[in-house]
C-alpha cells in the first residue's frame, strides 16, 4: 500500500468511526444512559409538562434548549423541574446541580456522557450562578446571531477576542467537563485555562483529476479524495472583556496538523514541509500569542502580541469559524497571519479602532534583514546578496469598525500588511472592508471586498526575467524553494523586467437559519487576478456555491455543499505548477462535505 493510499485508508476509517459515533448517539444514547433525558418529560400523573425532542417546536410548545428564541414561561419551566425531581431522574438542563451525578466520576465516562447529554440540543446546560456572558444590552450591542447554527455569535473581527462578550472558561468543551473533577481539571479551572479542540475530516467529488487540480479552489486542494483537513488543540486563557474593573490577560497556543497546513504556512516557521518537500500533511501553529485587556481605557483596550490571524475577513483558518467547508477564493489568496503587536480600542459601544505593527504577512522576525547569496545578479536583485524574504519588514495594520446599537449591522474598514509592497513570499498590501446586516432572526448577509497588490513582481512574460529566476537570481528560485514558490506576474508589457500585480475581489454570503441546528449559506464571488500572481493564471473568476451546516449538538457538525467555479479568460483548473502540469479546464464543479467533532 502506498503512503497516499495508507493515509486515505486511515482517514476513511476515521470517518467511518465518526459516523458510527454520531449514529450511536442519535439512536441509542438516551436509552443506554441512566438518568438521561427521554423523549418527553412527564409528571407523576403522566401529563406532559415540558417537551424534549430534536426539533424546536411541537404544536405551540418549544424547547428553550434547542431554540434560542423559545419564550417559555417560568411557570412552565418550574413545572418541568418539579416533574423531573418527582421522577427521580437527573436532567442537568433542568437542574444544573445534578450535572456531576449525571456524568459520573471517571474521565472517560464523563467525556462520552457529555456528548450524549447535549445530543439534539443547541445549547449547553446552563449554570444559573455563572456571571453574565455579555455586558448589559442597555449599554452594549446584543450579539446578533447564535451558534449553533451559525459559526459565531458576533459578526467577526480580527486581532482581539470580542470586547464586551468574552468570559474566561466560557468554551463548551467535553474534554474540560470530563476532567473537571480531577486535580488537574480543578487547577485549570481556577487559573481560567482551557484545553479544547476538534478533528475535522472531509472529502470531495470533482470534475478535476490532477493531484492539486482543484486549486485555485480551497480547502479541497486534491480532487476526488478523503482527507484529514485539520486536527487542532487550543491551549487558551481568555481575558474577561465583559467586566470593566480590573486588568486581565490571556494567551492562545494553537498547533494544527492536517492538509490545511499548506494555507497557514509562514516562511521560516516549519515551512520546509511545504516549500522544500510539498508534503500533503503537515503541522503549523498559526496562533501563538499573549494578550492584555485594559478596561479602564474608554470601553476597553486589548493588546495582542505574537503570531495571530490577520485582520479582517469573514472567514478564518480554523474550520469551526466558517459557514461552509470550502473557502472562497477571496479568503484563500489574501493575508493569513502576522507576527507582531496588534491593538484594539473600543472607543464607544459603536466604534472600535485598531492599530498594529508586524514583520509582514506570513513572515518571521528572524528573516528581517537576513541576506542570502545571489548567484545571478539581475535588474531586480542587482547585488551579490539579496534579502532572504523581501516581505519581512516592518508593516502596519489599521482598522476602524462601526456597530449599530442593535448589533444587527457592522462595517469594518481595514488596511493590513502595509509596507513598501515589494515582491515577497506573501507580502500583500491589503485594503478592503467587511460588512454585515441582519434582516431578522432567520436571515443575515455578509459582504467583503478588497484590493491587494505587490510591487516589482518578476515578469513571467519576459524571457530574461524567467532566466534569472531559473538561475537562482531571486529569493524564490527553485534552488531555494523547489515547491509552492510565489507566482510571477503576467505583465501586459513583455519588455519590463517586473511590474505591479493586483487583485480586486467581491464576496457575499447570504445565510439562512433554517432551524436552531441548521444553517444554509449561499456564496457568490467575483475574483479578478489581474496579473495572475495569486492563482498563477491571469484571469477573472466567478464562483458560486451553497452549503448546509447541520449540528447534531454543539459538539458535532457536518457541512455538505456544492460549488461551481468559472475562469472567464483562461483555463485555470486541473493543473499543478509543482508537477509541471498546465491547467486545461475553465470550469470546476466540486461537491464536498466534512465533519467536525469538537472536544
Dig out the grid coordinates for 431 from the structure: 485594503
208-228 confidence digits (pLDDT tens): 999 999 999 989 999 999 999
CA distances from 182 to 164, 177, 188, 234 (A): 31, 10, 10, 20
Mapping DSSP onto H, E and C, the string for 477-494 reads CCCCCCCCCCCCECCCCC
CA-wise closest residue to 334 among 499, 507, 195, 186? 507
119-167 confidence digits (pLDDT tens): 999 999 999 899 999 999 889 999 999 999 999 999 999 999 999 999 9
Rounded to whole angstroms, the Cα distance separating 274 from 254 reads 19
Helix (H) or strand (E) holding 87, with range, is helix 74-87
CATH for 184-598, options being 3.40.605.10, 3.40.50.970, 2.40.160.10, 1.10.390.10: 2.40.160.10
The pTM for the full model equals 0.89
Give the pLDDT band of residue 20 (cuts 50, 70, 90).
very low
Q: In this model, does residue 32 exceed pLDDT 70? A: no
* Structure confidence at residue 75 (pLDDT): 75
Give the pLDDT band of residue 69 (cuts 50, 70, 90).
low
Residue 71 makes CB contacts below 8 A (sequence gap 6+) with 62
Give the domain ranges of the chain.
3-146, 184-598
CA distances from 495 to 133, 383, 462, 463, 492 (A): 61, 22, 6, 9, 9
Could you tell me if 125 and 93 are in contact, meaning their C-beta atoms sit under 8 angstroms apart?
yes
**SS3 (DSSP) at 113:** helix
Query: DSSP strand E in 490-554: where?
Result: 498-515, 518-529, 539-553
Task: Please name every residue paired with 304 in a beta bridge, in sequence order, or none if there are none.
Answer: 291, 342
- Following CA atoms 71, 75, 77, 81 in sequence, which dihedral angle do they give, to the nearest 10 degrees? 180
* Structure confidence at residue 136 (pLDDT): 92
Dig out the grid coordinates for 72 from the structure: 417559555
Q: In this model, does residue 117 exceed pLDDT 70? A: yes
Give the pLDDT band of residue 67 (cuts 50, 70, 90).
low
Could you tell me if 504 and 533 are in contact, meaning their C-beta atoms sit under 8 angstroms apart?
no
510-563 confidence digits (pLDDT tens): 999 999 999 999 999 999 999 999 999 999 999 999 999 999 999 999 999 999
Q: In this model, does residue 413 exceed pLDDT 70? A: yes
* 117 cis-preceded (ω within 30 degrees of 0): no
Q: In this model, does residue 348 exceed pLDDT 70? A: yes
Q: To which residue does cell 442537568 refer?
A: 92
Mean pLDDT score, 21-47: 31
* Structure confidence at residue 401 (pLDDT): 98
Amino acid at each position: 500500500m502506498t503512503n497516499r493510499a495508507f493515509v486515505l485508508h486511515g482517514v476513511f476509517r476515521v470517518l467511518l468511526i465518526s459516523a458510527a459515533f454520531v449514529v450511536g448517539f442519535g439512536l441509542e444514547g438516551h436509552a443506554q444512559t441512566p438518568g438521561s433525558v427521554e423523549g418527553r418529560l412527564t409528571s407523576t400523573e403522566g401529563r406532559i409538562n415540558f417537551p424534549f425532542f430534536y426539533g424546536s417546536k411541537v404544536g405551540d410548545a418549544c424547547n428553550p434548549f434547542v431554540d434560542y428564541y423559545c419564550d417559555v414561561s417560568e411557570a412552565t419551566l418550574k413545572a418541568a423541574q418539579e416533574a423531573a425531581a418527582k421522577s427521580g431522574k437527573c436532567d442537568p438542563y433542568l437542574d444544573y446541580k445534578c450535572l456531576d451525578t449525571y456524568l459520573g466520576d471517571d474521565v472517560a465516562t464523563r467525556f462520552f456522557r457529555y456528548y450524549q447529554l447535549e445530543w439534539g440540543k443547541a445549547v449547553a446546560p446552563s449554570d444559573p450562578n455563572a456571571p453574565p456572558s455579555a455586558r448589559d444590552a442597555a449599554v452594549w450591542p446584543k450579539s446578533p446571531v447564535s451558534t449553533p447554527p451559525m459559526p459565531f455569535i458576533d459578526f467577526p473581527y480580527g486581532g482581539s477576542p470580542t470586547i464586551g462578550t468574552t468570559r474566561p472558561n466560557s468554551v463548551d468543551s467535553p474534554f474540560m467537563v470530563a476532567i473537571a473533577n480531577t486535580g488537574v481539571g480543578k487547577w485549570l479551572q481556577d487559573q481560567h485555562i482551557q484545553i479544547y479542540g476538534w478533528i475535522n475530516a472531509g472529502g470531495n467529488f470533482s470534475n478535476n483529476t490532477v493531484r492539486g487540480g482543484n486549486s485555485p479552489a480551497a480547502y479541497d486542494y486534491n480532487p476526488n479524495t478523503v482527507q484529514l483537513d485539520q486536527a487542532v488543540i487550543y491551549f487558551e486563557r481568555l481575558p474577561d472583556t465583559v467586566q470593566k474593573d480590573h486588568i486581565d490577560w490571556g494567551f492562545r497556543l494553537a498547533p494544527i496538523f492536517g492538509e490545511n497546513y499548506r494555507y497557514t504556512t509562514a516562511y521560516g516557521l516549519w515551512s520546509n514541509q511545504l516549500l522544500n518537500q510539498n508534503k500533503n500533511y503537515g503541522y503549523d501553529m498559526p496562533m501563538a500569542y499573549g494578550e492584555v485587556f485594559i478596561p479602564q481605557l474608554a470601553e476597553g483596550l486589548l493588546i495582542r502580541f505574537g503570531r495571530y490571524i490577520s485582520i479582517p475577513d469573514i472567514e478564518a483558518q480554523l474550520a469551526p469559524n466558517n459557514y461552509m467547508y470550502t473557502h472562497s477564493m477571496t479568503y484563500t489568496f489574501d493575508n493569513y497571519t502576522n507576527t507582531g503587536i496588534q491593538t484594539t480600542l473600543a472607543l464607544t459601544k459603536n466604534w472600535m479602532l485598531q492599530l498594529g505593527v508586524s514583520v509582514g504577512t506570513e513572515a518571521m522576525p528572524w528573516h528581517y534583514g537576513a541576506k542570502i547569496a545571489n548567484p545571478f545578479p539581475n535588474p531586480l536583485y542587482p547585488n551579490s546578496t539579496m534579502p532572504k524574504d523581501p516581505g519581512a519588514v516592518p508593516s502596519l495594520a489599521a482598522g476602524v469598525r462601526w456597530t449599530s446599537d442593535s448589533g444587527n449591522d457592522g462595517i469594518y474598514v481595514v488596511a493590513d500588511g502595509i509596507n513598501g509592497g515589494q515582491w515577497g513570499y506573501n507580502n500583500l498590501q491589503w485594503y478592503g472592508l467587511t460588512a454585515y446586516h441582519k434582516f431578522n432572526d432567520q436571515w443575515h448577509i455578509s459582504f467583503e471586498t478588497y484590493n491587494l497588490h505587490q510591487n516589482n513582481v518578476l515578469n513571467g512574460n519576459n524571457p530574461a526575467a524567467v532566466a534569472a529566476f531559473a538561475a537562482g537570481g531571486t529569493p524564490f528560485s527553485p534552488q531555494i524553494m523547489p515547491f509552492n514558490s510565489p507566482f510571477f506576474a503576467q505583465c501586459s508589457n513583455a519588455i519590463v523586467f517586473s511590474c505591479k500585480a493586483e487583485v480586486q475581489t467581491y464576496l457575499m454570503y447570504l445565510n439562512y437559519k433554517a432551524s436552531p441546528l441548521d444553517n444554509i449559506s449561499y456564496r457568490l464571488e467575483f475574483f479578478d487576478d489581474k496579473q495572475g500572481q495569486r492563482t498563477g493564471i491571469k484571469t477573472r473568476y466567478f464562483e458560486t456555491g451553497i452549503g448546509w451546516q447541520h449540528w447534531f449538538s454543539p459538539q458535532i457538525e457536518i457541512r455538505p455543499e456544492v460549488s461551481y467555479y468559472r475562469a472567464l479568460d483562461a483555463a485555470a483548473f486541473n493543473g499543478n505548477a509543482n508537477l509541471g502540469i498546465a491547467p486545461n479546464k475553465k470550469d470546476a464543479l466540486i461537491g464536498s462535505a466534512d465533519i467536525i467533532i469538537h472536544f
